[in-house]
């Protein structure tokens, strides 16, 4: 995952949480702790650029409903009953699942107990971007309160934990944040130099309604309000016009492509082939396990690689290598981590060890490694995971979290909600 070809036989030296070097030769001298990964693959930790860990307990709830009905009749009413304990159980489960399938960095947009999420990130040893999702369909006072809370979150947590944690400002979406509220948020972001994240043009319906109300496309509208002037990441971008795509390309905006969630909610398929042609920086995200229903980036890579071939009737639409870069390197940049998503000297030592011995990945000649990673491997093939040089998963076991407790608490929290 450097610019060149994979290093076939060699070793990587980790020191003080960073990659000190990668060498294509026999180990001459051993120093410190030695991890033997002979016969296995070492890949960069995945960066999951869009999700909502707080809704993990809603996995499988209200399946097969349209997005609007699903949000209004299932998600939001259930979420109103969430306690601090519920979100802790949900976020811990999400972190555990992500870690075990090779994700070392994630973005979390949620509106409840984000301080607790920050603490869980630090406990787990992962990297995470906190976004206090703001829905503006409320009074001016409540809007101001939500924005204040978001800025507080930034002041408290941004770059904490030796840079593991970052914070972005996150208006939920143009259809839930009226333009004047959106403008307030953008102003705050620029005032403090905070990056912005939002859902954008996920469904055709929301785009049509936006055009009906404001006479312009949502991305053009956001652009007028200044949304793309600083560092910006949008989720979905399924129904962006050609003009909007060119606009995002010019602004250097990142797009978090969430193919599985878009398919499951029947939202459509983002035009990643065109995004690629316009040199837009696309990264991958799972969205929440309520609309996915897993947080496994291997699955996300597979969907992202296959749907664009099918929809475009063109097997060259995206390559396996493109997809790997989206899942790691582009994601790192999108989340403002300068040194993540690559195995390269000077980069953060965020990586996974993948077991290639499964029948689903045989035969495995060297030149098929990248192909297998995208088209054949599964999250459960990950055996060991490191973030910032620290081992977080060993032989498929979580080292920093108690998996038994996570499983028990997840079931218990849902049972309590139902009671």
Contact positions vs Zn ion (CB under 5 A): 287
User: What is residue 143's three-state secondary structure?
Assistant: helix
Q: How far is the CB of 64 from Zn ion (least distance, A)?
A: 18
Q: How far is the CB of 287 from Zn ion (least distance, A)?
A: 5
| 110/386 with CB nearer Zn ion | 110
Rg for the chain (alpha carbons), in Å? 21
Q: How far is the CB of 249 from Zn ion (least distance, A)?
A: 23
CB-closest chain residue to Zn ion? 287
Q: Please enumerate in sequence order all residues whose Cβ is within 8 A of that of 89, keeping only pairs 6 or more positions apart, or say none.
A: 57, 406, 409, 410, 412, 413
On whether 132 is known to bind a ligand per the annotation, the reply is yes
What distance lies between CA 204 and its chain's CA centroid?
A: 23
Q: Does residue 158 contact residue 165 with C-beta atoms inside 8 Å? A: yes
| 108/287 with CB nearer Zn ion | 287
Q: What proportions of the chain, in percent to the nearest 5, are helix, strand and coil?
A: 45, 20, 35
Q: How far is the CB of 291 from Zn ion (least distance, A)?
A: 8
On whether 79 is known to bind a ligand per the annotation, the reply is yes
Residue 42 pairs in a beta bridge with 353
| 287/355 with CB nearer Zn ion | 287
Q: How far is the CB of 350 from Zn ion (least distance, A)?
A: 23
| 202/271 with CB nearer Zn ion | 202
| 109/184 with CB nearer Zn ion | 109
Q: Does residue 35 contact residue 319 with C-beta atoms inside 8 Å? A: no
For residue 188, give Cα distances in angstroms to 147, 191, 231, 335, 393. Answer: 8, 5, 13, 19, 38
Beta strand pairing status for 41-44 and 351-354? antiparallel
On whether 199 is known to bind a ligand per the annotation, the reply is yes
On whether 52 is known to bind a ligand per the annotation, the reply is yes
On whether 239 is known to bind a ligand per the annotation, the reply is no
- List the binding residues: 50, 52, 79, 132, 172, 199, 202, 287
Residue ranges at the known binding site for substrate = 79, 132, 172, 202, 287
| Binding site per annotation, positions for Zn(2+) | 50, 52, 199, 287
């Amino acid at each position: 995952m450097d610019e060149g070809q994979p290093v076939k036989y060699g070793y990587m030296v980790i020191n003080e949480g960073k990659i000190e070097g990668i060498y294509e030769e026999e180990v001459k001298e051993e120093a410190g702790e030695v991890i033997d990964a002979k016969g296995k693959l070492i890949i960069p930790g995945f960066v999951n650029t869009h999700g909502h860990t707080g809704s993990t307990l809603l996995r499988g709830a209200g399946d097969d409903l349209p997005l609007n009905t699903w949000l209004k009749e299932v998600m939001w009413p259930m979420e109103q009953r969430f306690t601090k304990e519920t979100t802790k159980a949900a976020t811990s489960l999400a972190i555990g699942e992500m870690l075990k399938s090779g994700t070392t960095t994630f973005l979390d947009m949620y509106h409840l107990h984000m301080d607790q999420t920050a603490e869980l990130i630090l406990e787990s040893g992962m990297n995470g971007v906190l976004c206090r999702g703001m829905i503006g369909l409320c009074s001016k006072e409540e809007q101001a309160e939500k924005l204040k809370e978001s800025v507080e979150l930034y002041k408290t947590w941004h770059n904490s934990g030796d840079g593991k944690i970052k914070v972005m400002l996150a208006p939920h979406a143009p259809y839930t944040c009226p333009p004047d509220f959106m403008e307030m948020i953008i102003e705050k972001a620029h005032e403090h130099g905070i990056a912005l994240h939002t859902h954008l043009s996920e469904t055709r319906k929301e785009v049509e309604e936006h055009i009906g109300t404001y006479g312009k496309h949502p991305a053009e509208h956001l652009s007028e309000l200044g949304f793309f002037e600083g560092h910006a990441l949008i989720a979905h971008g399924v129904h962006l016009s050609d003009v909007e795509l060119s606009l995002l390309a010019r602004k250097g905006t990142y797009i978090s492509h969430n193919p599985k969630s878009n398919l499951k909610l029947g939202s459509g398929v983002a035009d990643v082939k065109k995004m690629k042609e316009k040199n837009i920086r696309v990264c991958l995200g799972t969205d929440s396990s309520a609309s996915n229903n897993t947080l496994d980036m291997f699955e996300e890579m597979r969907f992202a690689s296959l749907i664009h071939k099918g929809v475009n009737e063109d097997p060259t639409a995206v390559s396996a290598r493109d997809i790997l870069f989206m899942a790691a390197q582009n994601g790192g940049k999108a989340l403002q981590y300068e040194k993540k998503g690559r195995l390269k000297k000077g980069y953060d030592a965020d990586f996974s060890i993948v077991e290639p011995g499964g029948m689903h990945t045989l035969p495995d000649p060297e030149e098929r490694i990248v192909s297998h990673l995208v088209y054949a491997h599964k999250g459960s093939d990950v055996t060991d995971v490191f973030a910032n040089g620290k081992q977080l998963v060993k032989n498929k076991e979580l080292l920093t979290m108690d998996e038994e407790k996570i499983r028990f608490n997840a079931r218990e929290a849902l049972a309590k909600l139902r009671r």
